[in-house]
Structure 1
Amino acid sequence: MSFSLDHVQVVVPPSGTDAAARFYGDVVGLERIERPETLGGVGAWFRAGSQELHVSEYEDFAPAPKAHPAFELAGAELDVLAERLAATGAEVRWDERLPGARRFYSFDPAGNRVEFLTRA
């Protein structure tokens, strides 16, 4: 069998889609793509390379304490994004414990942890 990752889904509280869309689209810089109307509900989809990030509203929302998407960026883009996130007031928490990578964690407006990294 051959696998590849198609998408990752994160959930936000009711009425949280607009704030998440601003974060993932405007601040992080992911391309917003069309979400099929046939799915119903509320949410937003984004493209990250050949994978997708799906954001959906969930009535009983609670941010996951460990689960998170991780986005890989090229070299200096990591620092540019860290500065852009910090300028919006988002937390930027650097973590140097992963050998062969530079990375930091931040949080979307709903409190979901998001990792950004570059490999050496």
Structure 2
Amino acid sequence: MKFKQRYGSLRIAMELQKRGYKISQITVAKYMKKMGSRSRSSKKFRVTTDSRHNYLLIDNVLNWQFKQIEPSKVWVSGITYIAIKEGFLYLTTIMDLYDRKIMGWSLSTSMTIDDTTLLV
């Protein structure tokens, strides 16, 4: 769809007026209500990382050299935030940089250490 079903009655009325139709926002709103049509609002961007902390910072020992010539020499890890209705899920993965194989992963409802185990 061209407009991703996000237009409300005001934007639809303005678009129709630009195309030469004489229609008010109130009339468009009435038609939308009668048809059971509603605009969809997009979710606002939410910052999930706080870089201003006093935690230990590790030096960049790879120096941006991500291609490796030996398996199991360099493993890297990352966390992905997955938004769900109740908040977030946190997916942690461990990857071998040699062949980009996922060596293990864990899915949790918190970022702190709990009783979840790493799944391999």
- Find the structure with the greater CA-based Rg: 2
State whether TM-score is above 0.5.
Answer: no
TM-score calculated relative to the size of structure 2? 0.23
Bigger relative CO (Cα 8 Å, ≥ 6 apart): 1
TM-score calculated relative to the size of structure 1? 0.23
User: Greater strand share, 1 or 2?
Assistant: 1
